[in-house]
Amino acid sequence: MSVELVQKTINGDSPGVTTELSYFRFTPNVSANKLKQYPKVYLQAALHADEQPGIMVLHHLLDLLLKADKAQALRAEFVVVPMANPVGMSQIEFGQHQGRFDKVSGVNFNRKWPDLLSQIIIDSSTLKTDDAQYNQQIVRSLVWQWLEGYQPVSAREQQQRWLISEAYDADYVLDLHCDADALVHLFAVPQLYPAAQDLSDWIGAKATLTAEDSGGGSFDEVWPSLWIQLAKQYPQYSFPAPPIACTVEYRGNYDVFDSVNLEDAQRLFGFFQARNLIGDVAEVALTIKPKAMPKPSELAATEMLRVSQSGLLAYQVDLGEKVKKGQVIAELVPLSGEGAFITRVPICAGADGIVISRNVAKYVWAGRSIAKIVGREVLSSRVGYLLED
């Protein structure tokens, strides 16, 4: 067995409090003289600690990886972090779990991740014009030097440092999230496509939303951004293609079911096998095959439909439904003012597209997003910060 349980201690923001980050490392059962270098796959779940379907997906994937390890079928290093945010997981107050925002700083746990290029100093004389792999090693060593010198203070920063130290040199980085009530979909940088279409197909993504910079400094954008920026800043040098780094939205908050999430894990396993990262495993005979999923669309073509007043939602459309601009998506029952509890205010789509997500909680307030409508035409209103919150 070549499986290691890694445990890191995070010092809390108040006296006497510590938190433990635990994860698993699988290394290929191949001697160094037979395989000098192998790819690295990094997976994590629950960075937004109140989004738990990914934990169950990785629970099932760990079982599959253990079987692959036993069969000596691993052809890549796998780092699996089933619960990437123990700090957020501990934020239980008045019987409610609050795991999306750090309660000390108020920062969204999936925002304000560091721009790696701004943290390192590159001596261009150390780079080679035609050796992308060599240049990759140089850059990764500089990132590691920065990490070794980095002194995080808060619990959130310490947690970030441990996660960065495992993800920075990975060739695949999959960050598992979920929406409120949604279909499976992906977020990625456009430079990954069409080469990464097989990932969308394997996981069954009903939409793949792309943006080179969504404006929030989210985890999935950190890793490809480094190589995209380097290629632009140093066009005379060769660099490898960006790592396949994506946010995978596994449906909604309450979609934690063995039958569903086991299939999700099997689909990931199938993708890794198709990518030659895992060989044949007799104990894991998959019958699942990838299906052609929609091609990517720009995130700026997705409408975040919002309400202008508080009230109670009554949806008029289903997930996956194709809608037209002006179509009623939901009706809002006002809870105060003239017409309260009697009238209904129609909330209409501002663009054509497919409804990919809705709210679970039906009480909403002014400015609250109530649906994502995935379209194909970029919306003039969608500039700058493209994320929901």
CB 290 within 8 A of CB 336: no
The residue from 277, 295, 313 where one domain ends is 295
Sheet holding 172-179, edge to edge: 3-11, 18-26, 77-81, 40-45, 172-179, 244-252, 185-188, 207-210, 297-298
Share of the chain above pLDDT 90, in %: 96
Q: How many CB atoms lie within 10 A of CB 313?
A: 21
Are residues 304 and 175 part of one domain? no
Are residues 81 and 227 part of one domain? yes
Are residues 160 and 101 part of one domain? yes
Examine residue 103 and state whether it is found in any structural domain, yes or no: yes
Share of the chain above pLDDT 70, in %: 98
Separation in Å, CA 155 to CA 85, 90, 130, 240, 241: 10, 12, 42, 33, 33
**Which residue stretches of the chain are H helix?**
53-70, 86-89, 132-149, 155-167, 197-203, 219-233, 258-274
> What pLDDT, on a 0 to 100 scale, did the predictor assign at position 36?
52
Token pair, residue 182, equals: 């949604």
Report d(CA 365, CA 310) in Å as an integer.
4
Examine residue 384 and state whether it is found in any structural domain, yes or no: no
The residue from 240, 274, 295 where one domain ends is 295
Report d(CA 379, CA 300) in Å as an integer.
6
> What pLDDT, on a 0 to 100 scale, did the predictor assign at position 37?
81
> What pLDDT, on a 0 to 100 scale, did the predictor assign at position 31?
55
Q: How many CB atoms lie within 10 A of CB 168?
A: 21
Report d(CA 362, CA 311) in Å as an integer.
8
Split into its structural domains, the chain has a count of: 2
Examine residue 380 and state whether it is found in any structural domain, yes or no: no
Q: Which residue bears the tokens 């400015």?
A: 367
Examine residue 192 and state whether it is found in any structural domain, yes or no: yes
Examine residue 151 and state whether it is found in any structural domain, yes or no: yes
**Residue 257 backbone phi and psi in degrees, to 5:** -140, 135
Are residues 254 and 119 part of one domain? yes
CB 163 within 8 A of CB 84: yes
> What pLDDT, on a 0 to 100 scale, did the predictor assign at position 143?
98
> What pLDDT, on a 0 to 100 scale, did the predictor assign at position 273?
98
CB 261 within 8 A of CB 250: yes
Q: Which residue bears the tokens 């052609």?
A: 292
> What pLDDT, on a 0 to 100 scale, did the predictor assign at position 389?
80
Q: Is pTM, for the whole model, over 0.75?
A: yes
Examine residue 140 and state whether it is found in any structural domain, yes or no: yes
Separation in Å, CA 37 to CA 33, 34, 102, 224, 290: 10, 9, 38, 21, 28
User: Who's near 179: CB < 8 A, 6+ residues apart?
Assistant: 185, 249, 251, 252, 253, 356, 357, 372
> What pLDDT, on a 0 to 100 scale, did the predictor assign at position 1?
60
Are residues 144 and 81 part of one domain? yes
pLDDT at 300 over 70: yes
Report d(CA 225, CA 240) in Å as an integer.
12
CATH number of 334's domain: 2.40.50.100
Examine residue 318 and state whether it is found in any structural domain, yes or no: yes
Examine residue 379 and state whether it is found in any structural domain, yes or no: no
Are residues 265 and 312 part of one domain? no
Radius of gyration for the chain, computed over Cα atoms and rounded to the nearest angstrom: 22
Q: How far is CA 340 from the centre of its chain?
A: 40
pLDDT at 33 over 50: no
> What pLDDT, on a 0 to 100 scale, did the predictor assign at position 284?
94
> What pLDDT, on a 0 to 100 scale, did the predictor assign at position 32?
41
Segment 47-81, tens digit of pLDDT = 999 999 999 999 999 999 999 999 999 999 999 99
> Which has more confidence, 33 or 314?
314
Q: Which residues pair with 73 in a beta bridge?
A: none
Q: If you average pLDDT over residues 168-179, what whole number do you get?
A: 98
Are residues 174 and 126 part of one domain? yes
Q: If you average pLDDT over residues 382-388, what whole number do you get?
A: 90
CB 71 within 8 A of CB 64: no
Are residues 211 and 279 part of one domain? yes
Are residues 110 and 50 part of one domain? yes
Are residues 349 and 268 part of one domain? no
CATH number of 63's domain: 3.40.630.10
Segment 346-358, tens digit of pLDDT = 999 999 999 999 9
Q: Which residue bears the tokens 């980085």?
A: 173
CB 87 within 8 A of CB 155: yes
Segment 176-215, tens digit of pLDDT = 999 999 999 999 999 999 999 999 999 999 999 999 999 9
Are residues 250 and 178 part of one domain? yes
The residue from 295, 314, 330 where one domain ends is 295
Are residues 218 and 109 part of one domain? yes
* Average pLDDT of the chain to the nearest whole number: 96
- The boundaries of the domain holding residue 316 are 300-374
